[in-house]
Amino acid sequence: MSIVSFLLIIFTSLFFTGIVIRTKSIFSGRKGPGFFQPLKDIRRLFRKGAVYSKTTSFIFQIAPSIYFASVLMAIFMVPFGNQPGIISFQGDFIFFAYALALGKFFIIISALDTGSSFEGMGASREALYSLLVEPAFFILMGSFALLTGHTSFYEIFGSLHFGSYISYGEGTLAAIVLVFIALIENSRMPVDDPKTHLELTMVHEVMILDNSGFDLGLILYSTNLKFAMYGALIANFFLTPGYEWYYSLPIFIGVQIVFAVIVGTVESFMARFRMNHNPQYIFMLTSISLLIFIGVLILKKFV
C-alpha cells in the first residue's frame, strides 16, 4: 500500500494544471481549453527532439532529467494517511527538501551554461527565491516534529491530532504556508507570471528559453508533479488516523481540486508583485511559520 500515494500524485498531476487554467478561463469569461490540454501539449513535446546550442555543455543536456528525477524522489517520501511513502525514514522531510534543491540546482546551472545574460538573471532570481522560502518549510516541519515527537512525514502526519482551537489554527496556517510555497517553487503568481514574454521580468520561464522538445516536456511535467506533490502534503493534514480508504480517497482528490482552484483564483485576481517586493513577500512565510512554532510551544506548555 506504500505505492498508493505515488500513484495518486501521478493521477492528480494529469489534470491539476488543466483545472488551474480552466478556473482562470471561467473568471475571465472565456471558454478556455479542456482539462487535459496542458497534458496534450507536454505529450507533443515528448514526441519532438531537443535542440542544443553549441555553447552548452553536457550539463545543459542532463539537467532536465535530473530535475525530473529529483521531483520523483521527493514524491516517493510523501505518505497517504496511515500508509507511508515508498521511502520513509527518520528525518526524511530534510532529504525531501534537498532532493528538490538538487534538481533546482541543476536547472539553475543549466541556465548559466547557455551563456545568456537573460537566463543568468533568471537563475539568480530563482536561487534567491528558493533560498528565502527554505526557512519557512523547515520551521513548519520542525514545529510539527516537535509537536508529535517524530521526524518523518509518515509519523508526523499519522500522529497529528487536532483537538483545540490552537491546533486547528496550526493546521490552517500550515496549509496556507504550503500553498504559497507551492506557488513560489513552481514560479506562479504573484511572484512570477508563467505567461509573460518580457525577459526583464521573467524568472523561471527565462531560465528554460533554450530548452526544447523532450527536455522542455520533462520540465513542464515536473511542474505538474510538484503541484500535485504539495497538494498531497496539504491533504495529509486532513487524513487523520482512523479514516478508511473510502473516506481518505475522496478527501485526497477533493483537496487537490480545491488546491488547483485556489491557484487559479490567486492568478486571476492578484497582479504580479514588483520584483523588489518579492523577497519581502516570500520572507513573510517564515513569519507565519514562526507563529506556528509559537503555537506548538503553547501546545507543549513550554511557555
Per-residue pLDDT reduced to its tens digit, 186-242 = 888 778 777 777 767 778 888 888 888 899 999 999 999 999 999 999 988 887 655
Degrees to nearest 5, angle at CA 232 with 135 and 187: 55
Q: Are 240 and 79 in contact (CB under 8 A)?
A: no
pTM of the model: 0.91
pLDDT confidence bin for 244, thresholds 50/70/90: low
Q: How far is CA 185 from CA 126, 146, 162, 178, 198, in A?
A: 9, 25, 28, 10, 20
Q: What is the mean pLDDT of residues 172-196?
A: 84
Q: How far is CA 163 from CA 147, 160, 167, 169, 235, in A?
A: 13, 10, 6, 11, 18
Q: How far apart are CA 193 and CA 36, in angstroms?
A: 21
What's the CA dihedral at 199, 201, 204, 205 to 10 degrees? -40
Per-residue pLDDT reduced to its tens digit, 137-170 = 999 999 999 888 888 988 888 887 766 666 777 8
CA 204 vs. chain centroid, Å, equals 14
Neighbours of 163 (CB within 10 A): 8
Across 52-66, 77-91, 93-107, least confident range: 77-91
